[in-house]
Amino acid sequence: MKYTQLGRTGLKVGRLVLGTMNFGPQTDEADSHAIMDAALDAGINLFDTANVYGWGENKGRTESIIGDWFAKGGGRRDKVVLATKVYGNMGADGEAWPNHDKLSALNIRRAVDASLKRLRTDHIDLYQFHHVDRGTPFEEIWQAIDVLVQQGKVLYAGSSNFPGYKIAQANETAARRGGTIGLVSEQCLYNLAERRAEMEVIPAAQEYGLGVIPWSPLQGGLLGGVIKKEVQGGRRASGRAADTLADPAARARIQAYEDLLGKHGLEPGEVALAWLLTRPGVTGPIVGPRTAEQLESALRAVELELGEELLADLDEIFPGPGPSPEAFAW
C-alpha cells in the first residue's frame, strides 16, 4: 500500500479508504470481519463509517460490527485510523426527537458518545460532518468539537458533501476562534462520470489544506464494467447506474469507456480508481467491497499506472468542467 498525508495534517493514510456502508445491510458480520482483516493485511488503514449505517431500524449496526472486530484485539484498533460521521436522524422510525440529529452542540455530544459505545473505543480519529447544517452556526459546531478534542474523544474533524463556500466558512470560522485546526478532509461525490466537484469543492479543499476523499468512485457501479456484465449475464445495473444507462447518450459514453479499456486489456473498475489517484488533492477514494474479491480488485488499482494518452482519452469521453471560474464565467 502507498501512503500519503491527510491534507495538511501529519496523519498518514493509505491511498485507498475502506468504506463499510455494506457491513450489515449486504455483508454479514463474519464476512465483514474477514474483509477488514484483509484490508488491514493489505495496508489499508483508514476505515470510514457513519452512525446511520445499517439504515432503518438497524441504524448503528455497522459501527457495532466494527466495534466487535476491534474487540478481537490483535492491535486492530491501534492500526486503524477510524473515521465516522454525525448528522443523520438516528430514530429507527424515521422521526427525530428535537436535537437528536444534525449538528447542534447537544446532538454532537450525544452522537459521539453513542458512536464510541458502538465502536467499543475511547476515541474517533476523524469525526466528519455528514452534511451541511444550515441551522447551526460554525461557532457552535467548533465549540463542541473543541470540547471533544480536549476530552480526547476526537482528534480531527472533517466534512462530507460540503460545497466549496461552506468549506471556506468552516475554516475561516475556525481560524477566527484560534486554537482550532478546522476541517482537515472533505468526503465528496467524485469520479470520472461525476466531476462537478472540480468546479468549487476540490479547489476550496486544496486552498484550505483538506484531503479529498471521494465516495462512490464507480458511480454506483456504472464505471465497473456494467454493460459487459449485463451482456455476460451477470449482475444487472441498479439505482444510479441503471438510471444513467436509461439515457442513450450516457449509455454510449459508458460503452465507449468500456471499449477503450478493453483495447488496453484493463478492468474498468480498477481504472476508475486509478484515475482518481492521479487527481490533484485526492487522498484516496472510498472502496466499499461486499466481498473479499472486490477488495482484491480495488487493491490492484493502487499499482496501476495510467499513461498520458489513456488519461487524455478518458478526458475526451468524460470531460471535466475545466478550471474555476473560467469554466462558468468566461
**Alpha helices (runs of H) in 278-323, residue ranges in sequence order:** 292-303, 308-317
Catalytic-residue membership of 87: no
What's the distance, CA 163 to chain centroid? Answer: 15
Q: Is the peptide bond before 325 cis (omega within 30 degrees of 0)?
A: yes
From its phi and psi, is residue 182 left (phi > 0), alpha (psi between -120 and 50) or beta? Answer: left
* Catalytic option among 3, 53, 87, 257: 53
Which helix (H) or strand (E) covers residue 306, if one does?
Answer: none
Rounded Cα distance, 140 and 327, in Å: 35
Q: Smallest Cα–Cα separation from 215: which of 53, 61, 31?
A: 53
Q: Can you point out the beta strands (E) in the chain?
A: 3-5, 12-14, 17-19, 46-48, 81-86, 124-129, 154-160, 183-189, 211-215, 286-287
Tell me which residues are annotated as active site: 53
